Amino acid sequence: MSSEEEPSNQRQILFHYWAQWSKWKKYQPLSHIRRYFGEKIALYFAWLGFYTAWLLPAAIVGTLVFIIGIFMMFHDIPTQEICSSGDKYKMCPICKVCPYWNLSSVCPMFQAGRLFDHGGTVFFSIFMSLWAVTFLEYWKRMNATLIYRWDCSDFEDIEERPRPQFAALAPMTIINPITGEEEPYFPKRTRFNRIITGSMVIIIMIAVVIMFLISVILYRAIIAVIVSRSGHFLLVSSASRIASLTGSVVNLLFILLLSKIYTALALFLTKWEMHRTQTTFEDAFTFKVFIFEFINFYSSPIYIAFFKGRFVGYPGHYNKLLGIRNEDCAPGGCLIELAQELLVIMVGKQVINNIQEIVIPKLKTWRHKRNLSESNKTGQDNVMKQFWESDYKLLPYSGLFTEYLEMVLQFGFITIFVAACPLAPLFALLNNWVEIRLDAQKFVCEYRRPVAERTQGIGIWFHILEVITHLAVISNAFLIAFTSDFLPRLYYQYTRASNLQGYIDFTLAYAPKSFDLKNNVTCRYQAYREQNGRYSLPYWNLLAIQLGFIIVFEHVVFFIARMIDMMVPDIPEAVAIKVKREQYLAKQALAENKALIEVIDVVNPTQPGEKVSK
């Protein structure tokens, strides 16, 4: 269709006013989307647009927090102490054959760490926790409004029919007590046994993910040792960062590979479980895949955030995993490593997914067209036939599962680990701006028109979002308490020096004398320990402060979240009034109908056994 022609059908209208890149600043035509694709797809685009709009304030605040980190990076006294220390702090080697190194050599790493590790991240963590709760509350209101407008309020309870695949494979039939009609049936006990069997498969796959994670941990430890022994100054000073970055890339490749394998396996298991309706089928499939993907995508960030550097030991008494010394956090702390891991996995996954959404549908369409017979090109009838065949040559609709999964995983990245990466909401906003256009073009231009489906909401995805929101509060509390440098700095300011002078010396312990005598060098390492290896008094004081902070943080945020939940009604008042009005009119009509029947019975009484004349 040329630019001068007016769109003549629903598909052309959607392409002209919605799927074009130039329409990014326009509201989505949800009524037109619903009319052409049905309520289920329309509700997905409504949710995606709503989520993207709510990312805007989160992205603005996160960017401001990051800018604050840039200013603090050059005015931070502990960082200045490191950069000007020269050979004052001789650090212990990271392996038996690795050289000693000066703390000043990793000055850029400490400066980069201040971008993400400062007081602003505490505020941003609280902000994002409350943002997530408020977002879900207002989505419930939007969902209620759309479902009422589209007349889908009682769909799942009354109207949903058995799946065709279920009807074809069910071994028996029963009478539906609601409809009174005969319909296929599958024994619940048999389904339960199959679900238990499928759960065992999920556990095995999660164990495989953990094995891959351990292999990546060992890879990072080995690469760090190899780079440290290279002898090149720049490589030696960046050994931990190089190992972490390459490990993140390797981990991303493992994640994408395992994701493809498990999704196919979960689909097979869910079909085998024989769920009656499409809603229960999709919920079961979604739950299986999300549990696995949660472990698959988040296991490495969780390890870096909460476990890396906790079980290292100390010089002369290092702990080992499979004969290799446990890896420690890189200079600058684990928070900068976590930010790097999040950016590689989140942004890398988004870029790869967007490329796939552009290239793969076009390749599949080209292959599909090539496999079909060529259509005739002469005559009006053949031209009309060509239109139908052109639509048939498009890709079949494959559902919304992958679209929701991508966005929900993204939601987890920007909430669960937001204390480590304030720029995550900004990257999510930019990705979603592209995602809406790509999905619109994909549905309008690359897919056949699907059979319209009705729905009451986004299904189990909403409950998953609620769980992620609660996990985010707990995760950010632990991140700030144990991974961030916020509380140790605060403790030092109140107990020793308010200007943080001498803070670096406070955080470094001396290696045991036996280690120093063996190597004839007095070296330092990052820990709150006495020279004999025992934990020092500041360690126990900090531990008490950290645990207390977690309790206070969680209770305050959960209390405010509960208040928001109570203050924001799930259903807008205007919609609630309309629903009550409809219920009132329905009761009134029923009462009038009953009264009319009674009047007819009085005027024309019918004797028992007497037939009414027609």
Which tokens in the block code for residue 213? Answer: 């994670």
In the predicted model, is pLDDT for residue 413 greater than 70?
A: yes
Our measurement of the distance from residue 165's CA atom to the centroid of its chain's CA atoms, rounded to an integer in Å, reads: 31
pLDDT at 247: 80
Tell me which long-range contacts 102-105 makes (C-beta under 8 A, separation of at least 24): 103/331, 103/504, 103/508, 103/524, 105/233, 105/236, 105/237
CA distance 137 to 294: 23
Q: Which of 201-210, 249-258, 386-395, 584-593 has the lowest mean pLDDT?
A: 386-395
Average pLDDT over residues 226-247: 68
**Cβ atoms of residues 407 and 398 within 8 Å:** no
In the block, tokens 């409950």 appear at 463
DSSP category for residue 103: G
DSSP category for residue 98: S
Residue 544 — pLDDT band, cuts 50, 70, 90? very high
Provide φ and ψ at 209, rounded to 5°. Answer: -60, -45
In the predicted model, is pLDDT for residue 606 greater than 70?
A: no
pLDDT at 389: 67
pLDDT at 607: 54
- Read off the pLDDT of residues 345-383 as tens digits, 9 standing for 90 and up: 888 888 887 787 777 767 766 666 666 555 444 444 444
CA distance 257 to 262: 9
β 101-102/90-91 pair status: antiparallel
β 182-185/313-314 pair status: unpaired
Which tokens in the block code for residue 91? Answer: 């650090």
pLDDT at 2: 46
Rounded to 10°, the helix 30-37/10-17 angle is 140
- Read off the pLDDT of residues 277-303 as tens digits, 9 standing for 90 and up: 888 888 888 888 888 888 888 888 888
- Read off the pLDDT of residues 525-541 as tens digits, 9 standing for 90 and up: 888 888 888 888 989 99
- Read off the pLDDT of residues 71-115 as tens digits, 9 standing for 90 and up: 888 888 888 888 888 888 888 887 777 778 788 888 888 888 888
Type of residue numbered 88: K
- Read off the pLDDT of residues 35-51 as tens digits, 9 standing for 90 and up: 988 889 999 999 999 99
DSSP category for residue 521: -
pLDDT at 160: 65
Give the gyration radius of the chain's Cα atoms.
31
Mean pLDDT: which of 217-226, 243-252, 300-309 is highest?
Answer: 300-309
In the predicted model, is pLDDT for residue 306 greater than 90?
A: no
